Amino acid sequence: MIQAKLDNNVRYLQIAFNYDLSMVWQTLTRIPQSDRILIEAGTPFIKLEGMDGIRAIRKRWQGHIVADMKVTDGALGEVEMAHRAGATAITVLGNAPSESIDLFIERCAQLNMLSMIDLLGADDPLDILRPLHHSPDIIVIHRGRDEENTRGKMIRYRQINRIRSKYDSLISAAGGVDLREARSAIFNGANIVVANIVRPQDGWVGIKTTDDITQISREFLETIS
């Protein structure tokens, strides 16, 4: 039975798939089953594979599945769509209208799904959170993939203390996360670190398909404990 909520005293690893279903088949069985690991159906993966991609992951993964849909409108329908496919968590874009975000959070709560606000491109998280009538389960501090190679572009950990001073939501750190960055994220107060499965030739930071994925997953879990 999947716990609807995550434990604020536990540190979690979220492993993201952003390619196609064939990579999931090659890789997912190499990830150890753990209550501390969430599997993400990334935005590019969902655009390629749709809800069938999430269903395919559900057949092979017993724990939490995050649908990184970055909802911007039509929140009720998109949450329900992801839920029917087997997702237990879903993202909404922080720059979406506050009405959409509130509907999103309410529907997630009704369906026992984790509501996640992705702050990609947001300058001040409090500008997004203040107008809301409901707090999300998880707030994602996110450096985008296209920002990874920009000199000096860092995950904005300074935002964590500002968020924590007013909200009880868990904090997730995403964007070019390796073992070193994961350690920094946890040191700075994050509850969840997001690591991408990447092809070595693509040059992005993450867990490479050529790595010993089982061992590296365990190293991540040990690093963030």
| Residue 153 clears pLDDT 60, i.e. is over it | no
Which residue carries 């993450």 as its tokens?
206
Task: Tell me what the pLDDT averaged over the chain comes to.
Answer: 92
The amino acid at residue 176 is: G
52 close to 69: Cβ distance less than 8 angstroms: no
Measured distance CA(12)–CA(225) in Å, rounded = 8
Asked if residue 108 has pLDDT above 80, the reply is yes
Beta strands in the chain (DSSP E): 12-17, 37-41, 65-71, 89-93, 114-118, 138-142, 170-174, 192-198, 207-208
**Confidence grade of residue 213 (pLDDT, cut at 50, 70, 90):** very high
Average pLDDT estimate for 135-141: 96
Least confident stretch, 25-39, 50-64, 89-103, 173-187: 173-187
Tokens of 213: 């994925």
pLDDT-derived band at 152 (thresholds 50, 70, 90) equals: very low
Of 8, 66, 25, 53, which Cα lies nearest the Cα of 191? 8
What's this model's pTM, rounded to 2 decimal places? 0.94
Residue 168: the pLDDT is 93
Mean pLDDT of 178-191: 94
In the numeric block, the tokens 């090659």 are attached to 26
User: Domains of the chain, with CATH numbers?
Assistant: 12-224 (3.20.20.70)
Are the CB atoms for 63 and 33 separated by under 8 Å? yes
Give the model's confidence band at 49: pLDDT under 50 very low, under 70 low, under 90 confident, else very high: very high
Which amino acid appears at position 120 of this protein? L
CA 57 vs. chain centroid, Å, equals 15
Burial class (CB in 10 A: 0-12, 13-18, 19+), 201: exposed
User: What tokens appear for 131 in the block?
Assistant: 């107008």
- Rounded distance, CA 123 to CA 121, Å? 6
What mean pLDDT do residues 113-119 have?
97
Distance CA 29, CA 46 (A): 19
What helix, strand, coil percent values describe the chain, rounded to 5? Answer: 40, 20, 40
Give residue-wise pLDDT tens across range 196-206.
999 999 988 89
Please tell me the predicted confidence (pLDDT) of residue 175: 83
Give me the percent of the chain exceeding a pLDDT of 90: 81
- Residue pair 101/69 in contact by the 8 Å Cβ criterion: no
pLDDT at residue number 155: 72
Instruction: Return d(Cα 152, Cα 162) in angstroms, integer.
Output: 21
pLDDT above 90 for 169: yes
pLDDT value, residue 31:
97
